[in-house]
Amino acid sequence: MPSTMKPPSEPRPIAVMSALNQEIAALRANVDRPSTVDIQGSRIHRGHIHGRPVVIANTGIGKVNAAVTTALLVERFEIEMVLFTGVAGGLDPDLDVGDIVIAERTVGHDTGVLERGRLQHYQAGHVPFFNPTDRFGYTTDPELLERVMETIEGFDLEPIGDRIDPPRIVVGTVLTGDQFVNDPIVRERLHSEFSGTAVEMEGAAMAQAAERFGVPHLVIRALSDLAGVESHIDFTRFFEEVSRNSGRLIRRILPVL
């Protein structure tokens, strides 16, 4: 008699996004059974990594691009969770180019109320006198973060540039804003005001969109520069190296997401 048991269904895919094509080129090169589809001007790459279905897309730079692409992928592909990766500027003076920050929290550092010539920071999508909230930022699911950190225990990254020691992997607060930070004064302020570990241009917007859809989110950023006066130079110099390390890390953690 033929079996009536249904084959196990494949898990829903993980969406992996970056702002720039080069940031996840190495990750796309490791996709099994790849296919592509163009949707609303975005080229979407589909396939499997370590047996896990993935949907990979470049969003373009900035918060709007990140939020739009997140919504598009979640709606079209029944995404289980979203992950944003790529490079960032380092804010914590204890970190160096090549170190990787896994966000336990993402914060929009350029949102709030302009008052007395200063920006009073507040949660994106809210103002305190109309729809107030006690929240500020978006927190990564603690169980997800714990699984990731257990999986990468003992995982070594490749040295970057002239650096002899392997880069570190740390957990911290990742800040998001629609500016490329190229200023040591701003770097110091962002670190002191927010306890920011790294700064980039997409993560918190992705997290905001993901929460609207009830989808877990994760942000992983490799430091291409230190958000100072030579950030634009360091970014160009180290961009591809740190992106490759970030891709290796993501391949490592995909099976536990």
* Close Cβ partners of 239 (under 8 Å, ≥ 6 residues apart): 22, 87, 224
Q: Which 3 state secondary structure label does DSSP give 216?
A: coil
Q: Which helix (H) or strand (E) holds 8?
A: none
Two tokens, residue 21:
């094509």
Burial class (CB in 10 A: 0-12, 13-18, 19+), 170: middle
Task: Name the residues annotated as catalytic.
Answer: 23, 225
* DSSP letter for each residue of 125-190: T--TTTS--S--SEEPPHHHHHHHHHHTTTPPPPP-TT--SPPPEEEEEEEE-SS----HHHHHHH
Number of H helices, E strands in the chain: 6, 12
